[in-house]
Chains A and B, each alone.
Chain A
Amino acid sequence: MNKKLATMALSALMVAGPAMAELVIPDLSYRTGPYAAGGIPFSDGYNDYFTLLNERDGGIGGEPIRVVECETGYNTEKGVECYESTKGEGALVYQPLSTGITYQLIPKVTADGIPLHTMGYGRTSAANGKVFSNVFNYPANYWNGASGAINYLLSENGGDLTGKKIALVYHNSAYGKEPIRTLETLAEKHGYELTLLPVDHPGQEQKSQWLQIRREKPDYVVMWGWGVMNQVAVQEAANIRFPMENFIGVWWSGAEFDVEPAGDKATGYKALTFTGLGDDYPVYDDLKKHVVDTGKAAGAGDQLGAVQYNRGLYAAMLASEAIKTAQEMHGVTNITPAMMRDGMEALEITNAKMDALGMAGFGPEFSVSCENHGGPGLVGVVQWDASTGTWNKIQDFMPTDAEVIGTLIAEDSAAYAAENNIEQRCE
């Protein structure tokens, strides 16, 4: 009886006692709704990496990590609710995996002094650190993606796209509209003809778009899709017998679940990428040992090695490396969001670092600076093979058209700065 009382008192103390120093990472995930197919593996990867650090290394620099998950359903109103409910807990960095929510959060995080990492999504011009002090979108952004796709097509066509017809099938939202400006500028530069085909949320209805493609017979189709839209598009492309090798999706349209429903007909479909593929990395041995086998994996624990799981893993790795950098810079282990921002701005990812983490070659080498929050923008291309059920890398990480993108980023961020009276930093 006494023992029971003592344990009860102790556990009450532990609950009521002062909050232990810990690193709080909110995970604004979406495991429900039409975009859950992409949201679940990403969130699982994000969670599992932090669980691994807790289990194997006891956190980062001796500080345990606490991931606070909040379901947004890819909905901006719920995203705002999640942001407000988690920011009070000392949230270090936000990773909403939604361009719509990113647009909501950019002014809010800047006012609250919390960094926002939009890895490969969000507002592209946030790469300009002079204007966007708290927003980071390394290692690659949508305009790198658009340029990467065009560069790949150029290499297929011997450097000349004159007179070719390219159709962009895109999610009719801030996300899908993001590459249009770059593709239009590149169309002037390389002389191809661009057709825009918007698909409305959630993207199940694409008959008319593909009918138009069938009629106009573009040489290539580029897609900016997410969630259920990808599966429908690949299926529709197969239905009209569009040659799959001429169909390229952005990195958010290049996961297993996007192509599997179309079966063998999806073979040849291409997608861009900025992360490594599969589970052939030493870090996976640790994940299996410390996270999966101990039953601590997030979600159902069946997503390991999936494309979007790897992205979540990669995002968590970048966040934890930024925490390490911040801890070294400021000489304290229990960092604040402001220190985290400094750490992200000084982040340097080298091959040696990735080797040590068991993720050699998982992403490109890059370093972030005050001016450049966007990283190098290296883009690779992968191709789906339905017979083996794998994505195969057909082009390594390659640079994109920095000249065109740089001009566009400067223009767009200058417009944002003028609209919001932001003074340029880094001078």
Chain B
Amino acid sequence: MFYREAGDFKTSYTADSQTFPIKFDRYRYYAVLAVAFGIIPFIINDYWANALLLPFLIYAIAAIGLNILVGYCGQVSLGTGGFMAVGAYACYKLMTAFPDVSMFIHVILAGGITAIVGVLFGLPSLRIKGFYLAVATLAAQFFLVWLFNRVPWFYNYSASGQINSPERDVFGIVITGPNASAWATYLFCLIFLTLCAILARNLTRGTTGRKWMAIRDMDIAAEIIGVNPLKAKLTAFAVSSFFVGIAGALFFSVYLGAVEVGEVFGIQKSFLVLFMVIIGGLGSIFGSFAGAAFLVLLPVVLKVVGVDVLGWPTDIVAHLQLVIVGALIVMFLILEPHGLAQLWRVAKEKLRLWPFPH
């Protein structure tokens, strides 16, 4: 009833090929944007920003990036943590070297640098596939973390080997550092997420995305019909690393403010983002959002319910959290191997027929 194509007439090809061709979908999308941009910034406080929304927005960018590589192009990567570290350290070096330049430019440049590094580590993908590629990207993960720990130039020779984000602004509004207000950091990340999502969505709908999917589905067949595997794979690595680099830069500069590479960008971060992509749904932009939300919000919700509402000891709640999140992941993968995005697709199909299913 709510969700149907009937009566939604289009008079031009542009209208027909828009991102959300169904009216209800489109209005829902506008409504989400309106709430995210128009309402949340006015009611947000430090806790909501730093504990829930910032990590969700940033992980969503990282998940979109990884989804392009794994979900759309079929190249398994375990190097996400390392690439996020590249973004973070690039952003740090830029922030300290050019303090007067806007944060916006720093973050985008950090993404660009990560894209170059990503292409370098993507080169082996031309020769190796599947598990072997996963191992090669794993090497990138360990190498990059080791590099940032080892070479003092990257952390400006600080005694602790940590990087700390100094105070920087965009058009005079403080974005990083402790004096940044919640709404500013939230909006800054939200703008990046929106731009990234729109870019990713349109890339995957166009020629580039179709080439990636052809490579994913069968690389020899794709090559025969004229897809250049070198170009397709390397663009996937570049675009994916660009997004992941932006996520890493925001993660360090806006969200955490101080980073220790081994702890924050270790192998567990690579797995976390990969789980987001798998649980959310491979090859789906919405899935990246859903996966990020699931893995960021669920532990916090469980903690709030366990400790603050039920008053249980913190260690028991922390253990239960692992058990519940783990069990839910297994359950989801058994009941719906295609992730949360597939659940959403099924729900939409049902909604189309509701309330009169045949």
Contacts and interface: CB of A to CB of B under 8 A. Distances in A.
B263 A85 contact: no
B318 A73 contact: yes
A108 B264 contact: no
28 contacts: A31-B313, A31-B314, A31-B315, A31-B318, A32-B318, A32-B319, A69-B314, A71-B303, A71-B317, A71-B318, A76-B260, A80-B50, A84-B50, A100-B162, A103-B160, A103-B162, A103-B164, A104-B257, A108-B257, A124-B159, A125-B159, A173-B260, A177-B159, A200-B262, A201-B266, A415-B158, A419-B164, A419-B166
B354 to A, nearest CB: 39
Interface in B156-188: 158-162, 164, 166-167, 177-179
Given A84-B50, A177-B160, A32 B315 contact: yes
A61 B260 CA distance: 41
Interface string A91-114: 000000001100110111011100
Contact of A84 (B47, B177, B178, B317): B47
A172 interface: yes
Given A177-B161, A299-B315, A419-B96, 5 more contacts: A76-B264, A88-B45, A173-B263, A200-B262, A420-B167
Contacts of B55: 77
B256 interface: yes
Contacts of B315: 31-32, 36, 40, 71, 299
A235 interface: no
A174 B164 CA distance: 12
B300 interface: yes
A146 B341 CA distance: 54
Contacts of A99: 160
B16 interface: no
A107 B178 contact: yes
Across chains A and B, which 4 residue pairs bring their CB atoms closest together, nearest first?
A31-B315, A111-B178, A107-B178, A174-B160
Interface of B: 45-47, 50-51, 55, 96, 149, 158-162, 164, 166-167, 177-179, 255-258, 260, 262-264, 266, 300, 303, 307, 313-315, 317-319
Contacts of B47: 84-85, 88
Contacts of A173: 161, 260, 262-263
Nearest to A125: B159
Contact of B314 (A29, A108, A420): A29
A25 interface: no
Contacts of B162: 100, 103, 174
B51 A81 contact: yes
A70 interface: yes
Contacts, number: 107
A77 B314 contact: no
A27 B118 CA distance: 41
A76 B159 contact: no
A396 to B, nearest CB: 29
Contacts of A77: 55, 256, 264
Nearest to B96: A419
A389 to B, nearest CB: 26
* Interface residue tally on A, bucketed by range: 35 or more
Interface of A: 29, 31-32, 36, 40, 69-71, 73, 75-77, 80-81, 84-85, 87-88, 99-100, 103-104, 106-108, 110-112, 123-125, 172-174, 177-178, 180-181, 198, 200-201, 299, 412, 415, 419-421
A178 B160 CA distance: 5
Nearest to A27: B314
A90 to B, nearest CB: 14
B200 to A, nearest CB: 25
A31 B255 CA distance: 25
A172 B149 contact: yes
A419 B165 CA distance: 10
Given A31-B318, A412-B159, A103 B263 contact: no
A81 B314 contact: no
A109 B314 CA distance: 23
A107 B257 contact: yes
Nearest to A171: B262
B177 A85 contact: no
Given A31-B314, A107-B177, A84 B260 contact: no
Given A104-B257, A110-B178, A173-B260, A84 B46 contact: yes
A378 B83 CA distance: 44
Which of B45, B55, B313, B318: most chain A Cβ within 10 A? B318
Contacts of B167: 420-421
A138 to B, nearest CB: 20
B256 A104 contact: yes
B164 A107 contact: yes
